[in-house]
Amino acid sequence: MSRAYDFLEQCGFYYLLTIDGDYPSGRPISRILEEEGVMYFGTRTEKAFYRQLMENPNIGLLGFSKGQWIRIYGKASEIHDKGIRERYLSRIPMEIERFGTSENPLLAVFKMEVVRAELHSPGDKVEDITKEDK
């Protein structure tokens, strides 16, 4: 697993940021799937979150744990791979209740291409962990 993913797992929940017109829009999320260094997250196709991702794929993830925080910049792209969609649902039981199966057309799963990942510590220490995540 990547260092960024490991840190996110410690956080319990974190914020995923999108662009809504001219302004950032954020929402708390608590689970993503990571496979072979790639992170995946999901939403419903009928939400503003989905529309924002389709209009502007630039995203951010922010999380805080044990006096440190992480900032991840990335690009999201919707994926339709049935296996990844099934593994995403199995990782998040609450999503199974909402969507039933991976073939539900209301389920949208996105791949996050990490552009930059930073780990921030007290004393204004910033560590670039981008390369450790690829």
Q: What is the pLDDT of residue 98?
A: 85
Q: What are the extents of the domains in the chain?
A: 3-133
Strands (E), the chain: 14-20, 23-29, 33-35, 38-44, 58-65, 68-79, 107-121, 125-128
Confidence category of residue 1, pLDDT binned at 50, 70, 90: low
Q: What tokens does 131 get?
A: 């390369």
- How far apart CA 76 and CA 38 sit, in angstroms, is 11
The predicted pLDDT at position 124 comes to 87
Say how many C-beta atoms besides its own lie within 10 A of residue 107's C-beta.
Answer: 19
Q: Are 113 and 123 in contact (CB under 8 A)?
A: no
Q: What per-residue confidence (pLDDT) applies to 132?
A: 66
pTM of structure? 0.90
Residues 47 and 116 sit within 8 Å (Cβ to Cβ):
no
pLDDT band at 96 (very low <50, low <70, confident <90, very high): confident
For the stretch 28-62, pLDDT in tens is 998 889 998 899 999 999 999 999 999 999 999 99
Share of the chain above pLDDT 90, in %: 73
SS3 132: helix
Average pLDDT value for the chain: 92
Mean pLDDT of 118-122: 95
CATH topology of domain 3-133: Pnp Oxidase; Chain A (2.30.110)
Is pLDDT larger for residue 78 or for residue 97? 78
